Structure 1
Amino acid sequence: MAPGPARAPARALATAVTLLGLLAPLAACDAQPSGPARSGPARQGRSVSPVAGCAKGWTDPSDQSRDRRPARCAPGAPAPKPLEKKTRIVVSASTLNAEYLAPLQIARAKGEFAREGLDVEVKLLPTPDALPLLAKGDIDVQYAAPEAAVLGGIRQGFDIRWVAGNFSPGPGSKSGLWVKRGPGQEPGAPGLEHRTVGTIIGKGSVIMYPMRQVLSRNKADMKLVRFQQLGPAEVLTALKRGAVDAAWLLDPVWREVEGEPGYSFLGGQPPGEPLGGLLFGPGLLTGNPDAGVAFLRAYIRTVNTYFAGDYKKDKAFVKELGEVLRTDPETLAAVPSLRMDWEIRDRTVARLQEAYAEAGVTDGDPLPEDRVVDRSFYAEAVGHTP
């Protein structure tokens, strides 16, 4: 047998097993049937009206071009449409300090949710803990991604949808796969077959899709690569010491090896293609879709007002962002601005499922996109009829 078979790391596998144990009783008792007829305002016959300032608030989901400009409305648009009754929404996130959470945190700090009649609370919860709560309706929104465990929950009957994207890397970003070359070794990844790649994210994560792309471009078969799951503080150290042959380095860690002899950047997340964002549970999908649209309206307005372009050119805003995220402003300024993007590209879910299958963390037929994605909430928020 060839070394390095495609098996999930022990910690990732343990997490998946624990999560599936939580999902099973919920699927049998509490979760509602999942299907196209159950979720989304457009699927409930809701009317959609044009929104001032949002003539460019939608792009064709099939546009996969690397230089695609994300949808944008004018600053301050879409304008608030306060709900008749103040509504509390609970959001979970696995971190509260990451830069990709900035629109969510700035929306709270600037009162954008309050302008919609929403009282938004953000809770720090690991994804395995939050997912069953989302399915039951104990939380309303999960800031996460369509990871293998999420798709497994949907497959079991959870009424959960990916309703909005988050970001793609900006020009100049080198967050992604870095390889350490030996003496005289040419740049590239063929030598990674039967070798070890360090990552803080297990095989059930969305990062396996860009990892698969990068390895394929560099003529390395993902099935023949060993993956070692490491803590956030361990990945860079393991790469520098040679404990792993390559590592997926996130912002701003990659700056530590950029320009250093013997290190090569092989690639990262595809430009223009968000891989995570906001997941809605039944509370907003079917219970109160008005609140779901209002939530995304505030989120999108925040992006258009504060994150429309290279927001790090504004030093005062970077300082404010550092305070909101409780992160050193100099650390934020050390890497390029993210390209905030609320839209979801066509076939992203299909490509994710292909990567999960190749990594050996899923089996069976892939889910169709409409079991996972619902674009109708952000479409209504910007006045677009899909």
Structure 2
Amino acid sequence: MPLRRSRSGRTRFAAVIAAVALILVGCQNGSSSSDHGRQELTVAALPLTDSAALYLARDRGLFAKEGLDVRIRPVQQSIQALPALIKGQVSVIASANYVTYLQAYEKGTLDLRILAEGVRIAPHMMDVLVPKDSAIRTPADLAGKKVAVAVLNNIQSLTLNAILDAKGAGRPVYRQILFPQMGPALERGQVDAVHAVEPFDSAIRGELGARVLLDGDSPPVQGLPASGYITTRDFVQKHPKAAAGFRRAIEAASKIAAQDPGAVRAELPKYTKVTADQAKAIHLPTYPATADPAQLRRLVRLMRDQGLLEKDLDPAPLLAR
């Protein structure tokens, strides 16, 4: 299975926004009227299982039913689309890592609104992998070892730290390596382990025979919200009908994904390099029908515990309803 692109994140937003080039080539306004009368929205999305509801909503006509014409622009990291979102050049970022955008909100970089929930962590949707002949045998052996994550101080390190803390184990040293490069880095010994998400998780295990050391869906992070569909308060205020229609379409698609995993597996080959046969074996996340403030507060508490947020933050007012 070909290795793929990475999940979103951030460490220093001011530097990132100044440095990141706008990769959504040809994208002008995030919201406009199309020739057939539907409101056109541009959505930046990662090619991960997180984005399945977005593609289901498009391909099953759920956006069209709401009077929307959604144009999807793939990105390698959702943080790459942040400048475009702030400027109104994209309307929504899909599969957006909550840790990243809650940090941006606290720092005043982004006036965040969450249109819909994306996915929650499920068994083996992300694993800590080690080489098959590695001397690392238990989570405690990770202490001081080099572990690859897609972005530092993000959902991967947040959840792994929480799992290790609960086990009384020491923390590793994190190295930032994009998902497509994790397999080669592990094979060359540049890192001792990788924290990979699907479909990269299955790819690394299949190509290298890597061994699962730890399921990322372990206490105390089981079922934790991982990503969502985010926008700005300005977009919600200027386009309330489109925002509400987008939310309804995603929630309807998420219900389909939750009730019929086969629909997700059929969709994956359309927007990833995963083949139909490979899609049958991928571990899928949980697709919640609606965003739950109580579950998001779990995430906020973990972020506070690890110093990723300076103040208590109530996510409920950030949900666009």
TM range (shorter): 0.7 to 0.9
**For residue 236 of structure 1, what is the aligned residue in structure 2?**
183
> Does the CA contact (< 8 Å) of 1:188 and 1:218 recur in 2?
no
Cα distance in 2 for residues equivalent to 1:127 and 1:174: 19
**Equivalenced residues, count:** 287
Report Cα offsets for 1:155-178 as digits up to 9, x if no partner: 32632122322123445x262223
- Secondary structure at 2:222's aligned position in 1? coil
Match of 1:147 among 92, 95, 99: 99
> Partner amino acid for 1:221?
G
RMSD: 3.3
Q: Does 1:281 find its partner at 2:229?
A: no
Superposition deviation, residue 355 in structure 1: 5.9
CA deviation string 1:185-222 (max 9, x = no partner): 683222322221122x2223222221112222343233
Q: By how many angstroms is 1:335 displaced?
A: 1.7
What residue is the counterpart of 1:343 in the other structure? Answer: 291
Q: Which of 138, 163, 174 is the matching residue for 2:89?
A: 138
Q: Which has the higher strand share?
A: 2
Could you tell me how far 1:275 is from its partner in structure 2?
1.2
Quote the residue 1:245 is aligned against.
192
Counterpart of 2:226 in structure 1: which amino acid? Answer: L
**Structure 2 CA distance for partners of 1:261 and 1:326, relative to 1, 3 Å:** closer
Q: Deviations over 1:295-351 (max 9, x none)?
A: 1111111222x3133523x7xx74454235453112211223332114231413413
TM-score, length-normalised on structure 1?
Answer: 0.64
- Aligned counterparts, 1:363-378, within 5 A: 364-370=310-316, 373-374=318-319, 376-377=320-321
Aligned-partner Cα distance in 1 for 2:122–2:260:
9
The structure showing larger relative contact order (alpha-carbon pairs under 8 Å, at least 6 residues apart) is 1
In the alignment, is the contact (CA less than 8 A) between 1:178 and 1:248 conserved in 2? yes
- SS at the partner of 1:294? helix
Residue 101 in 1 paired to residue 51 in 2? yes
Give the corresponding residue for 2:32.
none
* Structure-2 separation of matches of 1:276 and 1:330: 26
Partner of 1:87: 39
- 1:12-69: CA deviation from partner (whole Å, max 9, x where unpaired): 65x745225479xxxxxxxxxxxxxxxxxxxxxxxxxxxxxxxxxxxxxxxxxxxxxx
Q: What is the rounded CA distance, in whole Å, between the counterparts of 1:206 and 1:149 in structure 2?
A: 11
Q: Of 236, 257, 272, which aligns to 1:307? A: 257
The change in CA–CA distance for 1:117 and 1:169 in structure 2 (over 3 A counts) is same
Structure 2 distance, partners of 1:337, 1:157, is 32
Question: Percent identity between the aligned chains?
Answer: 21
**Are the aligned partners of 2:265 and 2:276 in contact in 1 as well (CA < 8 Å)?**
yes
Q: Report what 2:160 is aligned to.
A: 211
Shift of 1:119: 1.5
Match of 1:70 in 2: none
Matched, 1:221 2:167: no
Matched-pair contact (CA < 8 Å) for 1:179–1:189: no
Deviation at 1:278, TM superposition (A): 0.5
Deviation at 1:294, TM superposition (A): 0.9
CA contact 1:318–1:332 (8 Å) conserved in 2? yes
Give the whole-Å Cα distance in 2 for the aligned partners of 1:246 and 1:285: 41
**CA distance in 1: counterparts of 2:72 and 2:129, whole angstroms:** 33
Q: CA deviation at 1:352?
A: 4.7
What residue in structure 2 maps to residue 19 of structure 1?
Answer: 16
